[in-house]
Chains A and B, each alone.
Chain A
Amino acid sequence: MSLNYMIHYFADPRFILLVLLGSVLGLFIGAIPGLSVTMATALLVSVTYSWGTSDAMAMIMGLYVVGVFSGALSAILINIPGAPSSVVTAFDGYPLAKRGEAYKSLKYATIYSFIGSVFGFIALWLLSGPISNIALKFHPIDYFLLSFFGLLAVGSLTSKSFTKGLISAAVGLLIAMVGMDSVMGRPRLTLGIRALQGGINVVPALVGLFGMTEVLSSIMQKKMGAEVSEMKNEKVPMKNILKHFPLSMIYSAIGTFVGALPGAGGPVASFLAYSTAQKVVKKPSREFCDGAVEGIVASESSNNACIGGALIPMLTLAVPGDAVTAIILSVFIVHGMQPGPLFIKTQPDMFASVLAGGFLGCVFLLILGLLVAPKLSKLILVPKRILLPIVTVLCIIGSFACNNRIFDVVLMFIFGLIGYFMRKHDYPTAPMVLAIVLGSMMDSNFRRTVSLLESEEHKIAYLFSSPITVILFAVTVLTLIFSIPAVQRLFKKKK
Chain B
Amino acid sequence: MEEKNKKINPVLIEGIVLCALSVLGIIFSIICHYGFKVEWKLSPYLFPLFISIMLCMLSISLILSSFSGLKEAKREKGDRKTFLIFLLECAIYLIVLKYLGFLISTMLLLGAIVHLLGEKSWWKIILISVVTSLIIYFLFGVYLGVMLPKGKLLYMIGIRL
Within 8 A of B (CB), among A384-422: 384-386, 388-390, 392-394, 396-397, 400-401, 404, 406, 409-410, 413, 417
Q: Ordered nearest first, which 8 A-B pairs have the shortest CB separation?
A: A220-B78, A385-B117, A181-B44, A389-B113, A443-B47, A170-B55, A401-B146, A188-B44
Q: Are B83 and A219 in contact (CB under 8 A)?
A: yes
Once the chains bind, are A219 and B136 in contact (CB under 8 Å)?
Answer: no
Which B residues touch A216, using CB under 8 A? 83, 86
Q: Which residues of B contact A424 (CB under 8 A)?
A: 75
CB atoms of A446 and B50 under 8 A apart: yes
Q: Give min CB distance, B51 to chain A, whole Å.
A: 5
Whether B58 and A167, one on each chain, are in contact in the complex, defined by CB atoms closer than 8 angstroms, is yes
**Chain B facing A: main interface SS:** helix
B161 at the interface (CB under 8 A from A): no
In the assembled complex, which residues on chain B have CB atoms less than 8 Å from the CB atom of A426? 72-73
Chosen A-B contacts, 29 in total, with CB atoms closer than 8 Å, are A163-B58, A166-B54, A170-B55, A174-B51, A174-B52, A188-B48, A216-B86, A219-B83, A220-B78, A220-B79, A220-B80, A385-B118, A386-B128, A388-B113, A388-B117, A390-B110, A393-B133, A393-B136, A396-B106, A397-B146, A397-B148, A401-B140, A401-B144, A401-B146, A406-B98, A406-B149, A409-B94, A425-B10, A447-B47
CB nearest to A424 among chain B residues: B75
Contact of B59 among A167, A186, A390, A409 (CB under 8 A): A167
Within 8 A of A (CB), among B80-110: 80, 82-83, 86-87, 90, 93-94, 97-98, 106, 109-110
Size range of the chain B interface in the assembly: 35 or more
Q: Are B86 and A219 in contact (CB under 8 A)?
A: yes
Complexed CA–CA distance, A181 and B36 (Å): 12
Known: A47-B140, A161-B65, A392-B90. A222 touches B132 (CB 8 A): no
Q: Mark A371-390, 1 if CB is under 8 A from B, else 0.
A: 00000000000001110111
Q: Which of B48, B73, B132, B146 contacts A189 (CB 8 A)?
A: B48
* A220 and B90 contacting across the interface, CB-CB below 8 Å: no
Complex Cα distance A10/B132, Å? 35
**Which secondary structure characterizes the binding site on chain A?**
helix
Q: Is the CB of B14 within 8 A of A425?
A: yes
Given contacts A47-B144, A184-B38, A450-B41, contact A389 B117 (CB under 8 A): yes
Q: Which residues of B contact A167 (CB under 8 A)?
A: 18, 55, 58-59, 62
Footprint of B on A, CB under 8 Å?
47, 50, 161, 163-164, 166-167, 170-171, 173-174, 177, 181, 183-184, 186, 188-189, 216, 219-222, 384-386, 388-390, 392-394, 396-397, 400-401, 404, 406, 409-410, 413, 417, 424-426, 442-443, 446-447, 450-451, 454, 485
- Chain A residues near B70 (CB-CB < 8 A): 161
Chain B interface residues toward A at CB < 8 A: 10, 14, 18, 25, 32, 36, 38, 40-42, 44-48, 50-52, 54-55, 58-59, 61-62, 65, 70, 72-73, 75-76, 78-80, 82-83, 86-87, 90, 93-94, 97-98, 106, 109-110, 113-114, 117-119, 128-129, 132-133, 136, 140, 144-149
